[in-house]
């Protein structure tokens, strides 16, 4: 068996959308699962719509998803000489020809066909003329007029196309640029692609591409046309179903691990398992588990899966993902050990990284603002002495860990004959500004001795003034 070689070949005419990311993931997973090679190719022959900004958007999305490539990126715009060499070969062998029919003449052909109920297409006017290369001429493929072209698709099965339904499609336009179907085949042939995994919206392109493989005398790759991604109303994904740009989900605070888990489950399954780590996806991915039905994009399920991945992750692994959200608030992110401690207290309480960053506000603000109702309820004169005692005892600790902090609270409760709730809530408001937070011993440990003592001192001043 030859080594598997897959490719992802986006057109840089916009952001990388969900369906494209799913295609990239399936190709990447299959290459990693089989020990093969994953190639990135940028199909930028549409010069009017292709932009550097879109190329960068594709790179940014793949980088966020941690989908790395082994070869490339290759740009079709750098390969025009190669396409022209293949054109010359096909013309010389009688598989292609020059056509000088004008757009108006071609439209007239189509109108005549429509008038008779036939399929509107090019009628082969120049097919047997043997015209030489001339300015403005296109190159057309000489499609067979009889027989059938068959796709043996790994996902869709046996698909048959009648050749008389295919017209002599264009290989090179009048401006000298190759068409999608031709350039894609030349690239796949020259890059020795063995497996083509793409959306099933490409099925109608496949018979033309198979004919090109046959004309070039090259073996066919394995084709796997995966189902489309639809919104929860089973229509094609659009902005009304939620963001379609991959990087928009990054900006919402989703983890890449959660997003690729979610993408993988759009059309692929492994029993009833829903939660997958990246390594599990690599180990278990196979094309025979790709279904024929469309994948339904469910934002509720995505957010729930994201919460599961946040909770399952090691705090140290979440630091680099959380930092951009902290930095967007202009908070200091130099101390990664501190951020790791913050994350450990918030993992079970956060569905997204953005939500986690907002909940972490009190950890990073230098001057905590009190919620008016919380301060009025808990920062009252009757806790002045216990808080003062607590501040002094915590300031005196030489080992500032959870066990030592808990012991200070035990002694405080005995000294003042109060229950934990009577002192914990005032302390929580003093340290966080609100009456809701992670465990009091946890946040004291993470905040550290200096911050805690300073915030308790501020609370004592507040109580004294009120």
100: CATH? 3.40.50.620
Q: In this structure, what token pair is assigned to residue 171?
A: 């290989």
Cα separations in angstroms, 36 against 2, 194, 296, 396: 9, 10, 29, 61
How many Å apart are CA 6 and CA 28, to the nearest integer?
7
Query: Is the pLDDT reported for residue 1 higher than 60?
Result: no
247 and 371 belong to one structural domain: no
Q: Domain span at residue 173? A: 79-226
Backbone angles phi, psi at 140, to 5 degrees: -115, 150
Sign of CA dihedral 20, 21, 26, 29: positive
How many Å apart are CA 85 and CA 70, to the nearest integer?
26
E strands in 85-147: 96-99, 138-141
189 and 136 belong to one structural domain: yes
- The reported pLDDT for the residue numbered 48 is 81
Residues 308-349 pLDDT 10s: 999 999 999 999 999 999 999 999 999 999 999 999 999 999
- The reported pLDDT for the residue numbered 25 is 98
Residue 104 three-state SS: helix
Query: Which pTM value belongs to this model?
Result: 0.92
Residues 184-238 pLDDT 10s: 999 999 999 999 999 999 999 999 999 999 999 999 999 999 999 888 877 777 6
Q: Are 185 and 219 in contact (CB under 8 A)?
A: no
104 and 31 belong to one structural domain: no
Of 326, 345, 365, the residue that ends a domain is 365
Of 262, 285, 306, the residue that ends a domain is 306
Beta bridge partners of 152: 158
220 and 181 belong to one structural domain: yes
Of 202, 226, 250, the residue that ends a domain is 226
129 and 200 belong to one structural domain: yes
Residue 223 three-state SS: strand
Q: What is the mean pLDDT of residues 442-455?
A: 97
159 and 247 belong to one structural domain: no
Residues 396-436 pLDDT 10s: 999 999 999 999 999 999 999 999 989 999 999 999 999 99
Q: Count of H helices and E strands in the chain?
A: 20, 12
441: CATH? 1.10.10.350
360 and 376 belong to one structural domain: no
Tally the domains of the chain: 4
Whether residue 284 lies in the annotated active site: no
343: CATH? 1.10.8
Beta bridge partners of 230: 236, 296
Q: What is the mean pLDDT of the chain?
A: 95
Q: Encode 412-435: b = buried (16+ Cβ within 10 Å), e = exposed.
A: bbeeeeeeeeebbbbbbbbbbbbb
Radius of gyration of the chain (CA): 32
- The maximal CA–CA distance of the chain, rounded, in angstroms, is 106
Torsion of CA 23, 28, 29, 33, to 10 degrees: 150
Q: Are 284 and 264 in contact (CB under 8 A)?
A: no
How many Å apart are CA 194 and CA 122, to the nearest integer?
32
Point out the catalytic residue in the list 63, 119, 239, 376: 239
94 and 26 belong to one structural domain: no
19 and 46 belong to one structural domain: yes
β-pairing, 37-42 vs 5-8, is: parallel
Residue with tokens 């506000």: 361
Beta bridge partners of 7: 39
72 and 114 belong to one structural domain: no
Residues 95-106 pLDDT 10s: 999 999 999 999
Q: Are 427 and 389 in contact (CB under 8 A)?
A: no
Share of the chain above pLDDT 70, in %: 98
336 and 391 belong to one structural domain: no
Q: What is the mean pLDDT of residues 439-460?
A: 97
β-pairing, 96-99 vs 138-141, is: antiparallel
210 and 332 belong to one structural domain: no
Which residues neighbour 140 within 8 Å (Cβ) at sequence distance 6 or greater? Answer: 96, 97, 98, 99, 122, 126, 127, 168, 169, 170, 171
Residues 366-406 pLDDT 10s: 999 999 999 999 999 999 999 999 999 999 999 999 999 99
């Amino acid at each position: 068996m030859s080594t598997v070689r897959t490719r992802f070949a986006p057109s840089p005419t916009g952001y990388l959308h969900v369906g494209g990311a799913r295609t990239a993931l399936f190709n990447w997973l299959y290459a990693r699962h089989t020990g093969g090679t994953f190639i990135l190719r940028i199909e930028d022959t549409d010069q009017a719509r292709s932009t550097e900004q879109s190329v960068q958007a594709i790179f940014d999305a793949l980088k966020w998803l941690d989908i790395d490539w082994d070869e490339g990126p290759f740009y079709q715009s750098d390969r025009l000489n190669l396409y022209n060499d293949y054109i010359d070969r096909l013309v010389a062998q009688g598989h292609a020809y020059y056509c000088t029919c004008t757009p108006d003449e071609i439209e007239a052909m189509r109108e005549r066909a429509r008038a008779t109920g036939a399929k509107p297409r090019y009628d082969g006017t120049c097919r047997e003329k043997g015209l030489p290369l001339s300015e403005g001429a296109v190159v057309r493929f000489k499609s067979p007029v009889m027989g059938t072209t068959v796709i043996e698709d790994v996902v869709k099965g046996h698909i048959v196309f009648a050749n008389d339904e295919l017209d002599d499609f264009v290989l090179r336009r009048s401006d000298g640029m190759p068409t999608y179907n031709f350039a894609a085949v030349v690239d796949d042939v020259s890059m020795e692609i063995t497996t083509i995994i793409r959306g099933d919206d490409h099925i109608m392109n496949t018979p033309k591409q198979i004919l090109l493989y046959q004309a070039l005398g090259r073996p066919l790759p394995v084709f796997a046309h995966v189902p489309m991604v639809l919104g929860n109303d089973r229509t094609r994904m659009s902005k009304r179903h939620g963001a379609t740009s991959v990087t928009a989900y990054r900006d919402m605070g989703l983890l890449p691990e959660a997003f690729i888990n979610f993408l993988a489950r759009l059309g692929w399954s492994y029993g009833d398992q829903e939660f997958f780590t990246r390594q599990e996806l690599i180990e278990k991915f196979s094309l025979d588990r790709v279904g024929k039905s469309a994948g339904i994009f469910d934002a509720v399920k995505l957010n729930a899966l994201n919460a599961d991945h946040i909770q399952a992750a090691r705090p140290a692994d979440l630091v680099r993902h959380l930092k951009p959200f902290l930095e967007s608030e202009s908070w200091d992110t130099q101390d990664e050990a501190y951020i790791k401690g913050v994350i450990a207290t918030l993992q079970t309480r956060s569905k997204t990284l953005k939500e986690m960053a907002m909940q972490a506000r009190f950890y990073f603000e230098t001057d905590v603002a009190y919620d008016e109702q919380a301060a009025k309820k808990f920062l009252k004169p009757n806790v002045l002495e216990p808080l003062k005692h607590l501040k002094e005892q915590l300031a005196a600790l030489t080992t500032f860990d959870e066990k030592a902090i808990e012991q200070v609270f035990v002694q405080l409760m005995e000294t003042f004959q109060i229950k934990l709730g009577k002192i914990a809530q005032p302390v929580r408001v003093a340290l966080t500004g609100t009456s809701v937070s992670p465990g009091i011993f946890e946040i004291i440990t993470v905040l550290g001795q200096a911050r805690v003592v300073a915030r308790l001192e501020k609370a004592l001043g507040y109580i004294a003034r009120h």
